[in-house]
Amino acid sequence: MEYLELNNIRKKYDDFDICVDFRIRKGEFFTLLGPSGCGKTTLLRIIAGFIQPDSGELILNSKNITELEPKDRNISIVFQNFALFPNRNVYRNISFGPESKKWKKERIREKVENLLRKINMESFSSRKTDTLSGGEKQRVSLARAIAVEPDIILLDEPLSALDVSLRNNLRREIREIHDSTGLTTIYVTHDQEEAMTLSDRICVMNDGRAEQTGSPEEIYYSPKSLFTASFLGDSNIIPFNSSLLYKNHAENIEVENGSMFFRPEHCMLLSENEYPDIENINIFKGRIIKRSFHGNCYKVVVECMNSNITLYDYYPFRTENMDTVAFSVEAENIICYC
């Protein structure tokens, strides 16, 4: 069921423009992923109502909200910098929204206390916000956004101001809160790992356009563009080489100037003289130029056909004393782009 529709939303700026068209389902955890400057935050601000699009429609729950003011949209937002009201304590930060919506006192109190419990900050209710740690601030900010029982909650890189361990915990909490409230969530990040672990669906954005929308698995394994392919996870991209494709699916593609893409995890290390004689498998050989340890594996960079190719060497490690290495990639795992 389509809950939020962005119909041909356009916004032009001097040096770049946004042009998108996609749907978000009710209760979905939807992520806008892309490098900085790709327009994802602008898009979020269009949804929130801080920016008016030049053309296009925003439909929320079958209602056109394009012209609606931010305060009337019932879409709340959480910022990277928390944006807590410095003049109000924790409790009064969370109660701000419900008070704005003129809820009954009793209902506000119940709601705020409930949320404080949910974020494990019951004892902080009268603390000034400047005495909180970064993580605590972001939890308050999150609670404040949820308190108004919004139709949609927007999260604008909420974790990027925090340190790594805190980030992982909060990531889990955010997802838990989403699951327990069933809130439709739109999450903006440039961190592909964050996007993949959290999201039901991801929209990869580049230069004001939606490159691809789909489940994390779809995006990861079947990137529709070279950009998407390179933006998510480790990837190998080499110039198109027709001699290499051993009867693969892309046989019929004529892409003399194109590129070929495959994931490191699809590279199978081969032992000396152990080349499998199977169809649809390409064999690579090259010199190891770099090895780095990543706990469960070594990342090995191999120089091969004038390109650097990354592959993983899982335990038991086999590349330890090797100068050159051979590996295979199944043809069906190689995607060609023109």
Partner 1 sequence: MKKQPAEIIKIIPFLFILPAFYLPLINLFRSGISLSYLKDFLSKPYYLNIFVFTFKQAFFSSVYSVIPGILGAYFLSHYSFRFKKTIRAVTAVPFVLPPILVVLGFVLLFGNNGLINRFFMNILDTGKPPFQILYSFRAIILAHVFFNFPLAVRLISSSWEKISVSYIEAARSLGAGRIRVFTQTVFPQLLPSVIASFSLIFILCFMSFAVILVLGGGPRNSTVEVEIYRLARINLNIPGACSLAVIQSSVSLFFLLIYTFFQKKLSHAVSVNTSDTLTEKEASGYSLVFLALFLIILFTVIILPMGVVIFESFKYKTSRGSDIIYSLHWYRKTFSELGFRPVRNSLLLASVNTVISVLMALTAASYSSKNRKGIQVFVEFFFTLSLGVSSIILTLSYIKFMNDFSIKSTGWIPLVTAHTIAFLPFVFKSITIFYDRIDSSITESAMSLGASWRRIFVRIEIPMVKNGLFTGAVLAFALSMGEINATLMIAPDNFITIPLAIYRLIGSYNFYQACAMGTILIMTSLVSFLVLDRAGTFEL
Those residues with Cβ within 8 angstroms of residue 304's Cβ, 6 or more apart along the chain or in another chain: 238, 284, 285, 286, 287
**Residue 72 tokens, joined:** 């009337």
Least distance to partner 1, CB of residue 286, Å: 43
Q: Is 37 exposed, middle or buried (0-12, 13-18, 19+ CB in 10 A)?
A: middle
Least distance to partner 1, CB of residue 233, Å: 31
Closer residue to partner 1, CB minimum distance, 86 or 295: 86
Closer residue to partner 1, CB minimum distance, 153 or 229: 153
Closer residue to partner 1, CB minimum distance, 6 or 145: 145
Q: What is the DSSP string of 16-80?
A: -EEEEEEEEETT-EEEEE--TTSSHHHHHHHHHTSS--SEEEEEETTEE-TT--GGGTTEEEE-T
Closer residue to partner 1, CB minimum distance, 70 or 214: 70
Closer residue to partner 1, CB minimum distance, 118 or 263: 118
Least distance to partner 1, CB of residue 21, Å: 23
Least distance to partner 1, CB of residue 309, Å: 39
Is the distance from CB of 5 to CB of 23 less than 8 angstroms? Answer: yes
What separation in angstroms does the CA of 33 have from each of 200, 213, 249? 13, 10, 29
Contacts with partner 1 by CB under 8 A lie at 45, 48-50, 52, 69-77, 79, 81-87, 96-97, 100-101, 129-131, 137, 141, 144-145, 147-148, 154
CA angle 141, 147, 151 (to 5 degrees): 105
Least distance to partner 1, CB of residue 318, Å: 43
Closer residue to partner 1, CB minimum distance, 135 or 216: 135
Q: What is the DSSP string of 209-246?
A: EEEEEE-HHHHHHS-SSHHHHHHSS--EEEE--TTT--
Least distance to partner 1, CB of residue 1, Å: 24
Those residues with Cβ within 8 angstroms of residue 324's Cβ, 6 or more apart along the chain or in another chain: 285, 286, 287, 288
Least distance to partner 1, CB of residue 94, Å: 10
Closer residue to partner 1, CB minimum distance, 105 or 287: 105
**Residue 335 tokens, joined:** 């995607």
